[in-house]
Amino acid sequence: MNEVWTLVFDLDGTLAETAGDLVGALNFVLEGEGVDAVPVSAARSLLGAGARALIQRGYARAGCELTQAKLDALFGRFLTHYNAHIADHSWLFPGVEACLDACLAASWRLAVCTNKLEHSARLLLSALGVADRFQFVCGQDTFGAAKPDPRPLVETILKVGGGVGRAIMVGDSVTDIRTARAAGTSVIAVDFGYTDVPVSELGPDRVISHFDGLLEAAEALAKPR
């Protein structure tokens, strides 16, 4: 690979198992409103679109109505609680650190593009000890748009000096795949993240089951066609 390429990672369900803390924060706000708690086992169908969507889905799961004003208030409570417990029950998936180091050694640019708020994403990456591996971290508030809108991904690639035609999205869900397709990048999917449909059925360019296989998959996609 002669040209420098960019890898842009989703965070929740891709780099890290975060369901425990996200659902914990959700249940904190639901229980304060007398709404049924959500089991962590339900996370795969609820996560991936950001905290506001998570709260909305928690209410819908309980068959409860939620006004915009109430959502705004609950979002503030969610965020305060979540940021205070950012990695109580979250951890990197096996092989992540070694993979990131191998990618850096192979001269890949690394960035994160998540539907978390940027501050929460940076807090989590710092708590997990990998913040220094990434040149840029994009949250849903960084550019005023959330995935699957392609703008956050495109702007992230540009921020690290990359080009859309020389970038690969790494994610775990239909949101990440749609984002990559809309942006015009290749996409590698992990099959252990938060999706209620097998990720292989969603049309990624490659599927990996462990981070040991990421660099090889990325380099194969980066070869001149």
Q: What are phi and psi of 142, to 5 degrees?
A: -65, -45
Known catalytic membership, residue 10: yes
Exposure of 30 by Cβ count < 10 A (0-12 exposed, 13-18 middle, 19+ buried)?
buried
The gap from C-alpha 109 to its chain's centroid, in whole angstroms, comes to 17
One-letter amino acid for residue 10 of the chain:
D
Q: How far is CA 192 from CA 13, 34, 44, 84, 199, in A?
A: 7, 32, 10, 26, 9
Out of 10, 12, 172, 176, pick the active-site residue.
10
Would you please indicate which residues are annotated as catalytic (active-site) residues? Answer: 10
